[in-house]
Amino acid sequence: MSNEPSVRLVQQSDYQFAIYYSEERDPIYGDEPPPLGKSQGATPSQFLLAGVANCLSDSLLFALRKFKQNPEPIETKATCEIGRNAENRLRILAIYVEIRIGVPGKSVENIERVLAQFQDFCTVSSSVSLGIPVNVTVLDSENTKLYPAN
């Protein structure tokens, strides 16, 4: 069995696909909004945002836990800017990720060191950012902006 990530998609109807990421689990669903689909699943753009946001959240959590810090709960929101390229085709032009840790930043040891390097260990956002700018902000529970530094 391969350790390489994979998914299997099975068309359900029109633009809705069942997405199997594990044969032992129920699928998740992807679909397009009307007029193409029926919005009965996440769009491909939402899946991309989820992948980037999840990987960045995991990377930040891992880095903080490495220093025995407990930033829970973490909440992450991701949005994107969609526009047309030179050929007038829709493209994701930029991704914006806001990660909020569940504690005050001043209570987190080594926070500066963690914030300086956690993005470098995120496989997905580092790969996506080669073609799409990924803009990351980290806030604490008191709404203080921790990253990027002012």
Are 98 and 53 in contact, with CB atoms under 8 Å apart?
no
> Does residue 48 share a domain with residue 38?
no
> Does residue 114 share a domain with residue 103?
yes
pTM of the shown model: 0.94
Using only C-alpha atoms, the chain has a radius of gyration, in whole angstroms, of: 18
> Does residue 38 share a domain with residue 55?
no
> Does residue 23 share a domain with residue 7?
yes
> Does residue 113 share a domain with residue 61?
yes
Distance between CA atoms of residues 56 and 96, nearest Å: 12
Q: Which of 8, 38, 12, 42 is nearest to 25 (CA)?
A: 8
**Percent helix, strand, coil in the chain (nearest 5)?**
30, 30, 40
Tens-of-pLDDT digits for all 150 residues of the chain? 468 999 999 999 999 999 999 999 999 999 999 999 999 999 999 999 999 999 999 999 999 999 999 999 999 999 999 999 999 999 999 999 999 999 999 999 999 999 999 999 999 999 999 999 999 999 999 999 999 976
> Does residue 51 share a domain with residue 19?
no
Q: Do β-strands 90-100 and 134-139 pair in parallel, antiparallel, or remain unpaired?
A: parallel
Are 69 and 61 in contact, with CB atoms under 8 Å apart?
no
Give the residue numbers spanning the domain of 7: 1-42
> Does residue 92 share a domain with residue 19?
no
> Does residue 98 share a domain with residue 111?
yes
Number of domains forming the structure of the chain: 2
Tokens of 111: 């926070």
> Does residue 32 share a domain with residue 18?
yes
> Does residue 18 share a domain with residue 49?
no
CATH at residue 110? 3.30.300.20
